[in-house]
């Protein structure tokens, strides 16, 4: 693994932010069969759960009957329009829902609305660069908060290492199976904003949650903004994802658990320095499972061309990793979510074997944590069980730490306490000092970036050394570090939005 570590005062960062204000306001006249009939669909009840072959209610303006739990069992293609999602809307096994480009779905705040694709359910959300699908808060501009609604949950039948398992966050849905090529649908050019309801401690709905989603599912060009928990979390599964943006989330940006083994490539993360979770916020947080047992399939996901922009940037020169500074700012939701501190760009723990290549992380308190408190992650590192290669860590307070909430670059043999204060951490020593992994070092930093609209497409090292020598590239890599090749490689243009608070929908 080749890692580059740079320490400097205030680093400038990366990634073009295109403010996108959609003007779609009209509601669909489509019904549940696509023939223009707006008659309310028939609903039957299984206890308190509503079940229907139709999904459109209130004259075709609402998705779901308004019950807290609503199960859709039919086959419906929506018309482009603006809809209100009410309650937890389950797309049951055998059901199909198609949502066209340009559609806006507002999540009902009172019912903490969520769209939940169950194993065997199929959803097509095929936005375009010019007309993305937007799932957002129903609140007016200026009043939106993280956790205004639930989020998007996709569950499938691929393998995980805990068998059939209930999805995190409270919904009834279980996931998991033996079909690693399972297909849960197509999800392209979608924005998810102000989602992530805190159901209870460590049981939150994320911006987008993947539960055992199979490789037959198409995932690309997604943006999660102001999630009240993780921006993205994978529980097992084999799905491959490309072109993901995580913007100003609450907890971790990319959380992997329970044997997720897909490949994720071209991702940008930008943090809000005023928002961090009580559990300590990271870029990556990766576990094999909660107890760290050596249970197959292992978490072996591979992330390539990732750019992490932490809280310490040229735009936030007053940043302090303290409760006085990290207050939630103007978007604090006051919904039970607890604030904490920022921790690391990458935390790999609990027997995870996460791989990362050709990536860049800037401006976190800690660069890398190989956490040995539970499981055998340090052992796997020594044995070459996972790869961290061609990674630049820049502008960190310390290079490495060996345990959760240990903000010291000293050796911890147990992942809980400093066991030898005379030695640097294992995370620092083992990976950084391994000269076989192709690290190059840049000596100057580009501090010219002064606003978010310049983040991402600017070389933060100011040396032109964003490229990797061909001799050290593994198959499938493209020869450059981070999410963007150069200023012309703006795969975010046209469909992302970096000011969702003030966008009129």
Report whether 239 contacts 215 (CB < 8 A). yes
At 419, list the tokens. 């066991």
Average pLDDT, the chain: 87
Report, as an integer, the average pLDDT of 253-281.
97
Per-residue pLDDT, 20: 36
Report, as an integer, the average pLDDT of 283-298.
97
Q: What is the separation of C-alpha 22 from the centre of its chain, rounded to a whole number of angstroms? A: 23
Percent of the chain predicted with pLDDT > 70: 83
Cα separation, 83 vs 60, in Å, equals 8
Give the number of other CB atoms < 10 A from CB of residue 444. Answer: 11
Cα separation, 479 vs 456, in Å, equals 17
For the purposes of burial, counting CB atoms within 10 Å of the CB of 424, is it exposed (0-12), middle (13-18) or buried (19 or more)? buried
Count Cα atoms within 13 angstroms, Cβ side, for 269. Answer: 33
Give the number of other CB atoms < 10 A from CB of residue 35. Answer: 7
pLDDT band at 243 (very low <50, low <70, confident <90, very high): very high
Report whether 189 contacts 219 (CB < 8 A). no
CATH of 3-496, one of 2.160.20, 1.10.30, 3.40.50, 2.40.10: 2.160.20
442-463 pLDDT, tens digit per residue, is 333 444 444 454 555 555 544 4
pLDDT band at 221 (very low <50, low <70, confident <90, very high): very high
417-433 pLDDT, tens digit per residue, is 999 999 999 998 877 66
At 30, list the tokens. 């489509």
476 pLDDT above the threshold of 60 = no
For the purposes of burial, counting CB atoms within 10 Å of the CB of 504, is it exposed (0-12), middle (13-18) or buried (19 or more)? exposed
315-364 pLDDT, tens digit per residue, is 788 999 999 999 999 999 999 999 999 999 999 999 999 999 888 888 89
Cα separation, 186 vs 23, in Å, equals 25
123-172 pLDDT, tens digit per residue, is 999 999 999 999 999 999 999 999 999 999 999 999 999 999 999 998 99
Report whether 275 contacts 253 (CB < 8 A). no
**What is the pTM for the complete model shown?**
0.91
Per-residue pLDDT, 246: 97
Report, as an integer, the average pLDDT of 108-129.
98
């Amino acid at each position: 693994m080749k890692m580059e570590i740079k320490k400097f005062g205030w680093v400038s960062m990366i990634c073009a932010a295109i403010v996108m204000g959609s003007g779609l306001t009209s509601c669909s006249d489509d019904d549940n069969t696509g023939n223009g009939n707006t008659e309310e669909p028939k609903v039957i009840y299984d206890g308190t759960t509503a079940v229907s072959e139709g999904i459109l209610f209130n004259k075709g303006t609402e998705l779901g009957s308004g019950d807290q739990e609503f199960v859709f069992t039919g086959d419906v293609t929506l018309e482009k329009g603006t809809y209100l999602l009410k309650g937890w809307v389950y797309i049951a096994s055998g059901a199909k829902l198609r949502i066209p480009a340009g559609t806006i779905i507002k999540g009902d705040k009172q019912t903490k609305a969520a769209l939940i694709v169950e194993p065997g359910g199929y959803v097509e959300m095929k936005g375009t660069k010019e007309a993305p699908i937007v799932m957002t808060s129903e609140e007016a501009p200026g009043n939106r908060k993280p956790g205004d609604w639930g989020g998007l949950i996709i569950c499938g039948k691929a393998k995980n290492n805990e068998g059939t398992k209930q999805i995190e966050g409270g919904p009834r849905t279980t996931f998991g199976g033996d079909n690693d090529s399972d297909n849960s649908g197509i999800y392209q050019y979608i924005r998810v904003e102000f989602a992530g309801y805190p159901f209870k401690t460590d049981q939150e709905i994320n911006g987008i949650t993947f539960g055992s989603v199979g490789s037959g599912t198409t995932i690309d060009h997604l943006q999660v903004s102001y999630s009240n928990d993780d921006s993205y979390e994978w529980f097992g599964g084999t799905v491959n994802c490309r072109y993901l943006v995580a913007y100003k989330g609450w907890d971790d940006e990319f959380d992997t658990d329970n044997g997720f083994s897909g490949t994720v490539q071209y991702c940008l993360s930008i943090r809000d320095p005023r928002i961090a979770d009580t559990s300590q916020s990271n870029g990556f947080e990766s576990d094999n499972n909660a107890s760290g047992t050596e249970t197959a399939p292992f978490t072996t996901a591979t992330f390539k061309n990732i750019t992490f922009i932490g809280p310490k940037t040229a735009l936030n020169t007053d940043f302090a990793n303290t409760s006085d500074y990290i207050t939630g700012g103007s978007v604090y939701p006051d919904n039970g979510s607890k604030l904490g501190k920022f921790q690391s760009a990458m935390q790999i723990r609990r027997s995870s074997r996460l791989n990362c290549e050709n990536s860049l992380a800037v401006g976190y308190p800690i660069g890398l944590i190989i956490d040995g408190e539970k499981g055998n992650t340090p052992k796997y590192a020594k044995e070459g069980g996972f790869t961290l290669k061609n990674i630049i860590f820049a502008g960190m307070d310390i290079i490495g730490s060996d345990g959760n909430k240990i903000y010291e670059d000293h050796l911890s043999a147990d992942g809980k306490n400093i066991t030898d204060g005379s030695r640097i951490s294992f995370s620092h020593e083992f990976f950084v000092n391994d000269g076989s992994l192709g690290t190059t070092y840049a000596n100057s930093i580009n501090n010219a970036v002064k606003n978010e609209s310049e983040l991402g497409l600017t070389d933060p090292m100011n040396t032109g050394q964003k490229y990797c020598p061909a001799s050290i590239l593994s198959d499938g890599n493209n020869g450059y570090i981070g999410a963007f090749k150069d200023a012309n490689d703006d795969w975010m243009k046209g469909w992302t939005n970096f000011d969702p608070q003030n966008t009129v929908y």
